[in-house]
């Protein structure tokens, strides 16, 4: 198995027959098997959640950095005023 291929586990899931039929049609359209289709859908959801968490983190730290910059600017300005 190549180093960049993640390990694979076989599982058994239960789905309504309408979802199985939909998955089979979609997999056929994409020329992949049902397992690959389900794996792609789950990977897309996982990536979406990770992007959302990263965006929330960036927003949090951007706000924190902005607040720190404002406080630092005031402190620097006061220090120059006191030095002069």
Percent of the chain with pLDDT over 70: 95
pTM (2 d.p.):
0.62
- Does the pLDDT at position 68 exceed 70? yes
pLDDT the model gives residue 41: 96
Cα pseudo-dihedral 42, 47, 50, 54, rounded to 10: -170
Per residue in 34-64, pLDDT (tens digit) is: 999 999 999 999 999 998 988 887 777 777 7
Q: Report whether 27 contacts 33 (CB < 8 A).
A: yes
């Amino acid at each position: 198995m190549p180093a960049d291929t993640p390990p694979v586990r076989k599982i058994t899931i239960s789905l309504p027959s309408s979802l199985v039929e939909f998955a089979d049609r979609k997999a056929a359209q994409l020329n992949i098997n049902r397992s690959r289709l389900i794996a792609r859908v789950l990977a897309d959801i996982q990536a979406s959640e990770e992007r959302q968490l990263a965006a929330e983190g960036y927003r949090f730290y951007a706000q924190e950095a902005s607040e720190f910059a404002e406080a630092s600017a005031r402190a620097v300005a006061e220090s120059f005023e006191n030095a002069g």
